[in-house]
């Protein structure tokens, strides 16, 4: 069987193309809608507006700059959109098994069926823990899906099914999560789209003004002469409410070093933003630092599934177990009961042996010769010493059973049967 690559066995909801070189979100099809919303208006602008304005300026062919700027700036917007949607936003690799070093045994009081309280050890796994950020303790949560403690400012995206560092939000217009590694490109896309809308709106209005001057008419005659300009102005005006509002909102987030997710959470909880380093330093951190490399190599060969490491068994401190299926415990209790019965039979024979020896000292010597010969055989002596060494009969009734005693239980039981038979004779 050929080895498979990481992107082929990826457990998230991402979509990969070009052999894992490009990674998109599960809703990557919405990216085509965004492309149409950008490209179609620009084409209309270049054909119906910019081409007519190229000769409206005094300098020779200076009007061509309007067309060139529109095309180049559109290419810039499409490039940053591609960088935003086709890269790793900062996905934290999943763990193959939970961090067992975080497990701890704790005592908890539980109530059994009879209403009596008992204290039993239970397996505890902390769902949160604290880390220090800028001298302030920050609580991080455990992710059940990725089986890891999320780093600070990390959150799990329910759409992509991944934990993303510095998670901002999942943008359906780009079909990707916005996180640590692509937030810079996302802001450049939103702000560039805002500038492009302003550019197209302004030049469309300029063309309406030119038509009014050339035909000595009113606004209505100019609008009838170039209805495409009117449509572009209306479209850009509506778009500015969207991309322009996003640009202003993210300028505020950059100045305070927040994410969209943190902004809503801090407002709801009233917590302090511990990541704010001042407006200037916040902007320098975002735009003047190197983008961190991806933690994932999607084209690498995937490792075989690592089975979960065996956990240490939980041994109850009292007589009852921790619940669950009781049949294995019942079977174990029956086995222990049989072993204890065998040991108790040996104990009764030992007491009987002592009684016979006591009677033999006062009675006729012939009465003890045959039992003594049986009880003092070469095979029984080590067994008695082993029993005496490994069994402690205390008043509390606690028994410490050694493995060698249990191993010899069958042999001892057969000898006990012979001895009992001889005694009855």
Distance, CA of 369 to CA of 155 (rounded, Å): 85
Q: Per the structure block, which two tokens stand in for 229?
A: 């300009």
Furthest C-alpha separation in the chain: 151
- Nearest residue to 194 via CA among 240, 163, 233: 240
Q: Per the structure block, which two tokens stand in for 325?
A: 């299926």
Tokens 């006062």 -> residue = 362
* DSSP string covering 13-63: S-EEETTTTEEE-TTTTHHHHHHHHHHHHHHHHIIIIIHHHTTSSSSTTTT
Distance, CA of 353 to CA of 350 (rounded, Å): 5
Give CA 324 to chain center in angstroms.
27
* Cα end-to-end span (Å), the chain: 74
Distance, CA of 132 to CA of 279 (rounded, Å): 22
Residue 48: burial class (beta carbons within 10 Å; 0-12, 13-18, 19+): middle
3 state SS of 162: strand
Distance, CA of 74 to CA of 34 (rounded, Å): 13
Distance, CA of 285 to CA of 334 (rounded, Å): 68
The H or E element that residue 193 is part of is: helix 183-215
Other C-beta atoms lying within 10 Å of the C-beta of residue 406 = 16
Contact 163, 91 (CB under 8 A): yes
> Mutual orientation of helices 327-362 and 380-390 as an angle, nearest 10°?
120
State yes or no: is 171 an active-site residue: yes
Give CA 174 to chain center in angstroms.
24
Length of the chain, please? Answer: 425
Q: Which of 157, 171, 177, 236 is catalytic?
A: 171
Distance, CA of 299 to CA of 20 (rounded, Å): 6
Q: Per the structure block, which two tokens stand in for 25?
A: 């979100």
Q: Per the structure block, which two tokens stand in for 321?
A: 């177990």
Distance, CA of 5 to CA of 111 (rounded, Å): 50
Catalytic residue annotation: 171
């Amino acid at each position: 069987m050929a080895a498979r690559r990481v992107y082929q066995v990826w457990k998230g909801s991402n979509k990969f193309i070009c052999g894992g070189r490009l990674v998109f979100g599960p809703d990557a099809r919405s990216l085509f809608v965004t492309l149409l919303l950008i490209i179609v208006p620009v084409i209309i602008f270049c054909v119906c507006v910019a081409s007519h304005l190229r000769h409206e300026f005094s300098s020779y062919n200076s009007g061509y700059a309007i067309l060139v700027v529109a095309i180049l700036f559109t290419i810039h917007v499409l490039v940053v959109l591609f960088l935003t949607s086709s890269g790793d936003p900062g996905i934290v690799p999943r763990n193959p098994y939970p961090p067992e070093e975080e497990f701890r045994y704790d005592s908890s009081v539980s109530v059994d069926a009879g209403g009596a309280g008992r204290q039993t050890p239970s397996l505890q796994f902390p769902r949160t823990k604290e880390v220090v950020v800028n001298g302030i303790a920050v609580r991080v949560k455990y992710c059940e899906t990725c089986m890891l403690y999320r780093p600070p400012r990390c959150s799990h995206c329910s759409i992509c099914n991944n934990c993303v560092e510095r998670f901002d939000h999942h943008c359906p217009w780009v079909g990707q999560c916005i996180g640590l590694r692509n937030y810079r490109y996302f802001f450049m896309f939103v702000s560039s789209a805002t500038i492009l809308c302003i550019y197209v709106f302004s030049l469309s209005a300029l063309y309406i003004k030119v038509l009014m001057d050339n035909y000595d008419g009113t606004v209505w005659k100019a609008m009838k002469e170039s209805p495409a300009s009117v449509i572009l102005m209306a479209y850009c005006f509506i778009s500015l409410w969207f991309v322009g509002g996003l640009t202003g909102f993210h300028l505020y987030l950059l100045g305070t070093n927040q994410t969209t997710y943190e902004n809503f959470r801090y407002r709801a909880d009233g917590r302090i933003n511990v990541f704010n380093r001042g407006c200037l330093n916040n902007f320098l951190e975002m735009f003047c630092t190197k983008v961190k490399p991806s933690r994932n190599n999607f084209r690498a060969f995937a490792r075989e599934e690592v089975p979960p490491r065996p956990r240490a068994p939980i041994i109850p401190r009292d007589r009852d177990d921790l619940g669950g299926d009781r049949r294995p415990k019942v079977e174990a209790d029956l086995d222990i009961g049989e072993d204890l019965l065998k040991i108790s039979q040996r104990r009764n024979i030992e007491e009987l042996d002592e009684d016979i020896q006591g009677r033999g000292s006062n009675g006729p010597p012939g009465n003890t010769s045959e039992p003594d010969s049986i009880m003092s055989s070469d095979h029984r002596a080590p067994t008695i010493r082993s029993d005496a060494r490994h069994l402690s009969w205390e008043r509390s009734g606690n028994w410490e059973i050694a493995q060698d005693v249990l191993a010899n239980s069958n042999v001892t039981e057969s000898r006990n049967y012979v001895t009992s038979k001889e005694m009855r004779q």
